[in-house]
Amino acid sequence: MESGPISAAANMFGMVLRHLRGQAKMSLRELGKLALYDYTRLSRAENGEILIPLEQVRQLDRLLNAQGMLISLREAISCDTTTRSIAPPGGASDDGPVMLELRTPDGGSVHVTMSRREFAQLLATGALSSVLPGTVDIAQTERIARAIEQPTRVDADVIDYFRRLLAEHYTADKMLGPRLLLRPLMAHIEVLNELRRGARSANVEPLFQVLAQYGEMAGWLHQDIGNLDAARHWSRLAAEWAQCAGDVQMAAYLLVRESNIACLTDDPAAVVQLATAARRSPGPLDPKLRALAGQQQARGHAMLGEYDRCFALLDEAADLLNDHPHVSDPNAPVYLHHYDLDTLCEQSAVCHRAAGRADTAVTLLENRIASTGEHLTRDRGHLTAKLALAVSQASQPDPSRATHLGLTALTIARQTDSARIMRELHTLDNELQNHWPAHREARTLHDALKAV
């Protein structure tokens, strides 16, 4: 028989069922007829009011080609979670949808949209354990649920869960870009901020540290999507949280992030000044962070035409990364864990191009693309757009190849909503139109960009 009371887990099952039925273009009556099941009960299941018996779910999974998704969700709902509904955190708003990518047992995925309030409910019950990374055991999901219900229960395990989840968000960003990731991240910030309000004093600083890292990523995602005002807002809010946490590393890192945003507003003086301030931050800085700040300062000097200073700073950064391949603090900003000599070389390409060394930039970017996994879609798109621009400015420019690369990057920009890719492509378009206005393939890229 169907389970009775509504629950967050039942909501999750219902949302997925409704999505799959819509994808199959079936009405409730049509699906009920094929499944030999009362369509009114299907409707109640989609609304989270009841849970369909597992044997019937197996039939629905087959009819909707769900590849085991409905079965997995139904099996994950234990007796104690089907009868409990936990109220969402008081700080959760309901003013925008959250899109989740649900993984099917065979490696596929289904996208489901829900309100932020529903997302908080699902996180609270642990109903997302088979969907989102980071929560893999029942004991931990129960611990998180209790903490959200009673913030005084927050402990190190709960905080570590959100740290691990942030690392997964970082990986997902390289593949998906900001379009799919921003709203779930913002919902997590609301949950964390609510936990911070009610946590015991011993856990306040660790929560502020995690909040600062989430806030920094919110700033990054807004930057990638092209909303620089929001990027500054979240970077500065993250810096405030880092100060509350006493996190010197994150406070300095956020100065580097603001320097990076200044690049996009064509303020090279601010790029240099903010990066220099990061390098001069009080307290010992991780060598990787000093290298990153040096690289960012070098970019500002390249924008100012001060190439000797630029390349001296890049050499200093390379020496630091060569001598210190690993971060010294496991809770350092997530990006630093992945920052290495290869990344520095790729980032230096823009300096070489500005200094009239586009051929060197081409080589650096080609090498980086060759070592970047096919699954890292957004990252490959950005690298490809930068390569296209370098190819157009090389000693023997190739407008046809530059255009082909640009069109490839444009496809990814559309998929990920990455404004960074589009910025590179518009610069490429200007280069092509200025030097090869009659080039047929260049005109194709120009028209495609105008249509976006």
Pick the CATH number of 8-82 from 1.10.357.10, 3.30.565.10, 3.40.640.10, 1.10.260.40: 1.10.260.40
Q: What is the mean pLDDT of the chain?
A: 84
SS3 320: helix
Band of pLDDT at residue 108, cut at 50, 70 and 90 = low
Q: Are 401 and 439 in contact (CB under 8 A)?
A: no
Band of pLDDT at residue 276, cut at 50, 70 and 90 = very high
In this predicted structure, the answer to whether residue 263 has a pLDDT above a threshold of 90 is yes
Looking at residue 124, its pLDDT comes to 43
Q: Are 377 and 175 in contact (CB under 8 A)?
A: yes
* Ranges of each domain in the chain: 8-82
Q: Rounded to whole angstroms, how far apart are CA atoms 333 and 181?
A: 18
Taken in order 317, 176, 259, 186, the sign of the CA dihedral is negative
Q: Say if residue 172 is exposed, middle or buried (CB neighbours under 10 Å; 0-12, 13-18, 19+).
A: middle
For the stretch 182-214, pLDDT in tens is 877 887 888 888 888 888 899 999 999 999 999
Minimum mean pLDDT among 98-112, 140-154, 177-191, 308-322: which range?
98-112
Instruction: Provide the 10 A C-beta neighbour count for residue 351.
Output: 22
State how far Cα 102 lies from the chain centre. 16
For the stretch 432-445, pLDDT in tens is 999 999 999 999 99
Looking at residue 400, its pLDDT comes to 97
Taken in order 414, 418, 211, 265, the sign of the CA dihedral is negative
Minimum mean pLDDT among 81-95, 278-292, 411-425: which range?
81-95
More confident residue, 79 or 264: 264
Q: CB-side exposure of 397: number of CA atoms within 13 Å?
A: 17
Q: Rounded to whole angstroms, how far apart are CA atoms 261 and 301?
A: 15
Of 158, 138, 156, 139, the C-alpha closest to 148 is 158
Looking at residue 89, its pLDDT comes to 30
In this predicted structure, the answer to whether residue 137 has a pLDDT above a threshold of 50 is no
